[in-house]
Amino acid sequence: MIPKVIHYCWFGGKPIPNDVKKCINSWKKKCPDYEIKCWNESNFDVNVHPFTKAAYKAKSWAFVSDYARLKVVYEHGGIYLDTDVEVLKNLDFLLKYDFYIGVQQAGNLCTTGLGFGATKHNSVVLEMLKKYDTIEFNYDNKEQFACPTLNNDVIKQLGYVYNSEKIVKIENNLILPEKYMDPIAPGAELKNLKCSDTISIHHYSASWMGKKNAN
């Protein structure tokens, strides 16, 4: 089972703003018996991998988080949430799976940025980590290694075929369509999919667009 721990990352040392505090409070409200653990420079070695070392040097905190979230969940198990994710429902029903992830509206890609969960030493998370061994961080070309692209490649290797309506289960891995974790996304061409099935909303701070924002 996935342990009742919610991990989040906050690199860069800036004070946590009120909108982030509101999101974190939603986690506490809907998942009151979960441990909530913050990962930052004090408890995560940003030099653990060349990608995070270079991203940290460039003050690209969101890209540090892209790797750190995988490393933390792989080593400890649990659920990761971006700090701009508002939780609407209790997440207990997801704990029985080995791994779960959501699909974002933009590009119909599976991404850890919406939140994801996994057991300790999960093989899917390990494959996502290995992706970073093949790339070198370069801020000017950051779009090519944004986490949705890298994450989605691994999910496709499981045999996943995109389905906009139904939850897809592959062995004990769960892929949730957009209405569950990305019902309201920026962009005129995207839809409002919020419904009774929605478990969380990603509010898209888009921190990866700037060097100096936290995740």
Q: Are 77 and 3 in contact (CB under 8 A)?
A: yes
Phi, psi for 20 (deg, rounded to 5): -70, -40
Give the integer Cα–Cα distance in Å for 69 and 74: 8
Q: Residues in the chain with pLDDT < 50?
A: 206-214
Q: Measured between alpha carbons, how far is 174 from 172 in angstroms, rounded to an integer? A: 7
108: left (phi over 0), alpha (psi -120 to 50) or beta: left
Other residues' Cβ atoms within 10 Å of the Cβ of residue 37:
13
Domains in the chain: ranges and CATH: 5-209 (3.90.550.20)
The 10s digit of each residue's pLDDT in 32-41 is 999 999 999 9
pTM of the model: 0.93
